[in-house]
Structure 1
Amino acid sequence: MADANERRDYRIFEDFAMHLIGVARSLYGQDAFGLDLDQSVYAIDSTIIDLCLSLFDWAPATKGRAGVKVHTLLDLRGNIPAFIQITGSRVHDATFLDHLRLEAGSFYIMDRGYVHMARLVRFCHAGAFFVVRSKYPLKYRVVNSVPTPPATPSLVILTDESIELTGQQTHKTYTWPLRRIEFYLVEQARHITLLTNHFDLPASHVAELYKSRWQVELFFKWIKQNLRIKAFVGTSANAAKTQIWCAVCTYVVVAIVKKRLALEGSMHAILQVLSLSLFEVKPLAELLGEQLLNDETGEPEAQFCLFPEISGQ
Structure 2
Amino acid sequence: MHAGKLVFAQLMEHLPLRTFHQCVARYSGRYPTLKFSHLDQFLCMAFAQLTYRESLRDIETCLRAHQAKLYHLGIRGNIAKSTLADANEQRDCRIYMDFAMSLIQTARKLYASDSFAVELEQTVYALDTTTIDLCLSVFPWARFRSTKATVKMHTLLDLRGNIPTFIHISDGKMHEVNVFDILTPEAGSFYIMDRGFTDFSRWYTMHQAQAFFVTRAKSNLLFRRVYSRSVDKSTGLRCDQTIALRAPKASKDYPQHLRRIKFYDAEHDKHLVFLANNFDLPALTIAQLYRCRWQVELFFKWIKQHLRIKRFYGTTENAVKTQIWIAISGYVLVAIVKKRLNTEASLYTILQILNLTLFEKTPIDQLVKNTEVQITMSKNNNQLNLFN
Task: Report what 2:350 is aligned to.
Answer: 270
Letter in 2 for 1:134: A
| Identity across the alignment (%) | 53
Compare the two structures and name the one with the higher helix fraction.
2
**Alignment partner for residue 225 of structure 1, among 302, 305, 308?**
305
Counterpart among 111, 114, 124 of residue 31 in structure 1: 114
CA distance in 1, matches of 2:285, 2:333: 32
Q: CA deviation at 1:139?
A: 0.8
Q: Per-residue deviation at 1:2?
A: 2.9
TM-score where L is the length of structure 1: 0.90
Using the alignment, how far apart are the partners of 2:254 and 2:375 within structure 1?
A: 54
List aligned pairs for 1:1-313, cutoff 5 A. 1-62=84-145, 64-152=147-235, 156-293=236-373
Aligned equivalents of 1:109, 1:100: Cα separation in 2:
14
1:111-168 deviation line (CA, Å, top 9, x unaligned): 001110000011211111000111231111000011121324xxx1122100000102
Q: Tell me, what secondary structure is at the counterpart of 1:82?
A: strand
Aligned partner letter, 2:170: T
CA distance in 1, matches of 2:360, 2:90: 31
Matched residue type, 1:278: L
For the Cα contact (< 8 Å) 1:182–1:192, is it kept in 2?
A: yes
Is this contact kept in 2: 1:41–1:106, CA < 8 A? yes
Is residue 124–residue 176 contact of structure 1 (8 Å, CA) maintained in 2? no
TM-aligned CA deviation for residue 275 of structure 1: 1.8
The whole-number CA distance in structure 1 between the counterparts of 2:270 and 2:307 is: 32
Give the secondary-structure state (helix, strand or coil) at the position aligned to 1:192. Answer: strand
Residues 102 and 123 of structure 1 are in contact (CA less than 8 Å); yes or no, is this contact kept in structure 2? yes
Displacement after TM superposition at 1:296 (Å): 6.2
- 3-state SS of paired residue (1:37): coil
Q: 1:33 deviation in Å?
A: 2.5
Unaligned stretches of 5+ in structure 1?
298-313
Counterpart of 2:177, as a letter, is A
Greater RCO (CA < 8 Å, at least 6 residues apart): 2
Structure 2 gaps of 5+ residues are: 1-83, 377-388
SS of the aligned residue for 1:58 comes to helix
Q: Which whole-Å CA distance do the structure 1 matches of 2:326 and 2:293 have between them? A: 24
Q: Displacement of 1:28 after TM fit?
A: 0.3
Structure 1 consecutive aligned stretches of length 4 or more whose deviation exceeds 4 Å: none
Q: How many residues align?
A: 293
Which amino acid in 1 is paired with 2:286?
V
Tell me how far apart the structure 1 counterparts of residues 375 and 199 of structure 2 sit (CA, whole Å).
48
Q: 2-side partners of 1:143 and 1:120: how far apart?
A: 20
RMSD over aligned Cα atoms = 1.5
Tell me which residue corresponds to 2:70: none
**What is the distance in 2 between the residues matched to 1:53 and 1:187?**
41
Partners in 2 of 1:188 and 1:5 — Cα distance? 46
SS at match of 2:357: coil
Tell me the CA shift for residue 190 of structure 1: 2.1
| Cα pair distance change 1:63/1:193, threshold 3 Å | farther
Letter of the structure 2 residue corresponding to residue 243 of structure 1: Q
TM-score by length of 2: 0.73
